[in-house]
Amino acid sequence: MLEKETIAAISTGMASSGIGIVRISGKDTVNIISKIFVPEKNKDMRKVASHTVHYGNIIDDGHIVDEVLVIIMRAPHTYTREDVVEIDCHGGIFVVRKIFDIVLKNGARCAEPGEFTKWAFLNGRIDLSQAEAVADIINAKSSIALEQSVSQLKGKMRDIIIRQREKIIYHIAYIEAALDDPEHINVENYGEELIIDVDNILKDIEILLKTSENGRMIKEGIKTVILGKPNVGKSSLMNMLLGEDRAIVTDIAGTTRDTLEESLRLSELQLNIIDTAGIRKTEDVVEKIGVERSINMAKEADLVIYVVDASVPIDENDKEIIKIISDKKCIVLLNKTDLECIVNTEDIKNIIDTEPLEISVKNNTGMDLFEKRVREMFYEGRISFDEEIYVTNLRHKEALKEACESLMLVKESIMSGLPEDFYSIDLMNAYEVLGKIIGEAVEDDLVNEIFSKFCMGK
Ligand SMILES: Nc1nc2c(ncn2[C@@H]2O[C@H](COP(=O)(O)OP(=O)(O)OP(=O)(O)O)[C@@H](O)[C@H]2O)c(=O)[nH]1
Ligand SMILES: [Mg+2]
pLDDT, one tens digit per residue, over 16-64 is 899 999 999 999 999 999 999 999 988 999 999 999 999 999 999 999 9
Instruction: Quick: pLDDT tens for 384-418.
Output: 454 567 888 889 999 999 999 999 999 999 999 88
In DSSP terms, 334 is beta-bridged to: 308, 358
Share of the chain above pLDDT 70, in %: 97
* CATH assignment at residue 329: 3.40.50.300
Instruction: Quick: pLDDT tens for 360-384.
Output: 999 999 999 999 999 888 865 444 4
* pLDDT score recorded for residue 1: 43
* pLDDT classification of 454: cutoffs 50, 70, 90: confident
190 and 263 part of one domain: no
Pocket test for ligand 1, best of 237, 241, 249, 308 (most atoms within 8 A of CB): 249
| 319: nearest Cα among 345, 292, 347 | 347
Give the ligand with the smallest distance to the CA of 362.
1
Q: Would the CB of 215 count as within 6 Å of ligand 1?
A: no
Nearest CA to ligand 1 atom 16: 249
65 and 121 part of one domain: yes
Q: Would the CB of 169 count as within 6 Å of ligand 1?
A: no
* pLDDT classification of 184: cutoffs 50, 70, 90: confident
CA distance 22 to 37: 13
Domain count, the chain: 3
pLDDT at 69 over 60: yes
CA distances from 343 to 208, 311, 312, 340, 371 (A): 44, 7, 7, 9, 23
Measured N-to-C along each axis, helices 420-438 and 394-415 cross at an angle, to the nearest 10 degrees, of 170
348 and 303 part of one domain: yes
| 330: nearest Cα among 391, 373, 365, 267 | 373
Q: Would the CB of 362 count as within 6 Å of ligand 1?
A: yes
Q: Would the CB of 11 count as within 6 Å of ligand 1?
A: no
pTM equals 0.77
Q: How far is CA 272 from the centre of its chain?
A: 14
336 and 285 part of one domain: yes
CA distances from 427 to 61, 94, 166, 199 (A): 63, 56, 11, 13
Residues 24 and 111: beta-carbon distance below 8 Å = no
191 and 238 part of one domain: no
C-alpha radius of gyration, the chain, whole number: 29
14 and 83 part of one domain: yes
Is 20 part of any domain? Answer: yes
For range 265-283, the mean pLDDT: 91
Instruction: Quick: pLDDT tens for 410-440.
Output: 999 999 988 888 888 999 999 999 999 999 8
Give the ligand 1 atom nearest the CA of 275.
20
93 and 54 part of one domain: yes
Domain membership of residue 403 as a residue range: 142-211+392-439
Give the ligand with the smallest distance to the CA of 251.
1
170 and 148 part of one domain: yes
Alpha helices, DSSP H, located in 154-227: 156-180, 190-210, 212-220
357 and 229 part of one domain: yes
156 and 237 part of one domain: no
Nearest CA to ligand 1 atom 27: 251
111 and 202 part of one domain: no
CA distances from 447 to 161, 230, 429 (A): 19, 49, 20
Neighbouring CB atoms inside 10 A of 135's CB total 20
* pLDDT classification of 342: cutoffs 50, 70, 90: very high
Instruction: Output the CA 426–ligand 1 centroid distance in Å.
Output: 59
Instruction: Output the CA 152–ligand 2 centroid distance in Å.
Output: 40
In DSSP terms, 90 is beta-bridged to: 19
* CATH assignment at residue 61: 3.30.1360.120
**SS3 (DSSP) at 421:** helix
